[in-house]
Amino acid sequence: MNIVSALENISLNEQRWGPVELGHGKVRFQIWAPEEKLIVLSLQSGRHPMSRSDDGWHTLEIQAAAGEAYYFVLSGGKSVSDPASRLQLRDLDGPSVLVDRQSYRWKNTEWIGLPWEEAVIYETHVGTFTQEGTFSSAIERLPHLADIGVTALELMPLAHFPGRRGWGYDGVLQFAPHNVYGSPDELKAMVDAAHGHGIMVFLDVVYNHFGPEGNYLGEYAPGFFRKDRPTPWGDAIAYERPEVRDYFIENVLYWLDEFRFDGLRFDAIDQIEDGSDVHILQQIAMEVREQIKNRHVHLITENPANGTDLMQEIDGGRYYRADWNDDFHHAVHVAATCEKTGYYEPFKDHTWEKIGHILAKGYLRPGKAIFSNTPPPTEALPPTAFIHFLQNHDQVGNRALGDRLYLGIDPRVYRVLTEVLFLSPQIPMMFMGDDHLSLQPFHFFSDYKGAIADAVRANRPKEAENFGGIPAGRTPLDIPDPNDASTFDCSKLNWSDALSEGARDWHAHVKNLIGIRRNEIVPLLSGASGYAGTVVEALDGCLFVDWSLTGGTLQLRANLSHEARPLMGNLGAILYSTEPQPHTVMGPFVTHVYLRAGR
């Protein structure tokens, strides 16, 4: 089927979810509740019956003011929040609050973002990024990130979730920034400030399930979900329904347009199934391209299934810019730590060979397509289609003790791996605190009570087994209780760590690496195409890879062994070396990067 003609039949024409300002103080309230014969809108002025259409939409146009709280009252008398609430007064149970969506005055109005190849990503959890855990306090740390050379701040999910603390992957109200972090205008101010420092801002969104607590959609709109198709976290979302598609497409455009985010990262897309002619992830990408023009917008996936079809070429671009490449992390983690259980088990044999393959070709293992019968091979994608990292929130927070990689391995190994991360052509990402070697753990934390809290607590040892297991001499009882407030508190960055001499030296080293990347490597990436990488044969403990890029061949020679190793290949001009005078033999724990003219 021609995707363009198919989209013409289902493209979004007007806002269907959430309150709409009509002018002169009038607002249209609307909710899709096909199981309800009558919905009553509760405002400060009283209760007002809503009109119901045959397709299950309930609407009412009425005078209402910004700051006014409201509920939808179901036929049985239960009051529920707006599923497209823009702000909650208290918690998920409401009430929702009308927001003046035009009240914020943007300062950096000329900002259009940055090309994808310039991205250096810093993943952040707003609640633990600072001691205050707010949008406003995060602004104070932006100059530090800009000084290092960070060009993209990626926020873990903000959609309103249960309780006051959590990772955000159990969000329920997809349009409402979690109010503990601040107001919508304060979020806009943070994005605006980042733009002023030359930093893009990406947002992590979760479209594969809703959280288990505070979600009442299933009561008045059960067709929103597929009870016959569960995900690991709850019922799948029924993307075959046009009302459901509209909800999420509107949500994508809301974050990108109203908050001026520069991109979105879509969580666990392998759990998003859609039997429609046009997959929802395809339509999202096409709608973004059609409706948001004249600035850079980058869509990113987390696809554990390693599918490539969403990154294939279409109309001079790609549906999605890049995917988080867990294969790189897992293989590198095995090499650095010798942990070989859980997610790391497939990488325990021929580990160095596998790391080289991943650096040169992309994924280690061919993946499962999302919608295509003929996805391109991983080698056909440019290196910039992959985001590489040494750790992220999952791989720190799901460890038994929330410990960071650099605190448990030879610091020389971590230094070389960091050099490989920043001086390879893939898009690099740090986890918050990596810039100054934070001493703080990052735990899994939540704010549940009762049976859900018990289930979350009981699942932590099982999850830890996937990420290194229980350390020797410890038991599952040593895993911090996710629902204890102290688990959250001790996960907050202590920015005094960044003032130590060692932290300042590391800051300078990372800044230097990013500077070399910006000046020498980024110019090679804009026209990078597939089949770029070649592994150069080397002994275990070495990563020797050449990439044929625009304007030359980038050559990585990294020795992570205790022995000196001979250099291999026809080498070009030196771009970087941890040795003062590179020779034909490289010392232990040394990195060289070269640029050879021509392809």
* 481 CB neighbour count, 10 Å cutoff: 16
Catalytic choice (186, 204, 302, 434)? 302
Residue 171, domain member (yes or no): yes
- Domain with 92, as residue range(s), is 3-97
Q: What is the pLDDT of residue 10?
A: 42
**Domain check: are 156 and 78 in the same one?**
no
Integer angstrom CA distances of residue 80 from 29, 74, 76, 146, 159: 14, 8, 11, 42, 17
* C-beta separation of 323 from 317 below 8 A: no
- Tell me how far apart the alpha carbons of residues 278 and 350 are, in angstroms, rounded to a whole number: 40
- Tell me how far apart the alpha carbons of residues 426 and 434 are, in angstroms, rounded to a whole number: 18
Q: What is the pLDDT of residue 106?
A: 98
**Domain check: are 315 and 271 in the same one?**
yes
**Domain check: are 45 and 126 in the same one?**
no
Stretch (H or E) spanning 94 = strand 94-97
Q: What is the pLDDT of residue 235?
A: 87
Q: What is the pLDDT of residue 374?
A: 84
**Domain check: are 71 and 126 in the same one?**
no
**Domain check: are 24 and 145 in the same one?**
no
DSSP letter (8 states) at residue 471 = P
What is the residue type of 233? W
Residue 591, domain member (yes or no): no
**Domain check: are 134 and 279 in the same one?**
yes
Q: What is the pLDDT of residue 599?
A: 62
**Domain check: are 19 and 137 in the same one?**
no
Look at the chain and report how many structural domains it folds into: 2
Residue 458, domain member (yes or no): yes
**Domain check: are 45 and 187 in the same one?**
no
Q: What is the pLDDT of residue 82?
A: 98
Q: What is the pLDDT of residue 152?
A: 98
For residue 95, whether the previous peptide bond is cis, meaning omega lies within 30 degrees of 0, is yes
- Tell me how far apart the alpha carbons of residues 381 and 443 are, in angstroms, rounded to a whole number: 34
Is 302 catalytic? The answer is yes
Q: What is the pLDDT of residue 372?
A: 82
Q: What is the pLDDT of residue 318?
A: 87
Please write the tens of the pLDDT for every residue from 275-286: 999 999 999 999
Catalytic choice (186, 267, 339, 434)? 267
Parts of the chain with a pLDDT under 50: 1-12
Q: Burial, 458: exposed, middle or buried (Cβ in 10 Å; 0-12, 13-18, 19+)?
A: exposed
Is 267 catalytic? The answer is yes
Assign residue 67 the CATH number of its domain.
2.60.40.10
**Domain check: are 48 and 163 in the same one?**
no
Assign residue 421 the CATH number of its domain.
3.20.20.80
**Domain check: are 42 and 123 in the same one?**
no
Please write the tens of the pLDDT for every residue from 237-261: 999 999 999 999 999 999 999 999 9
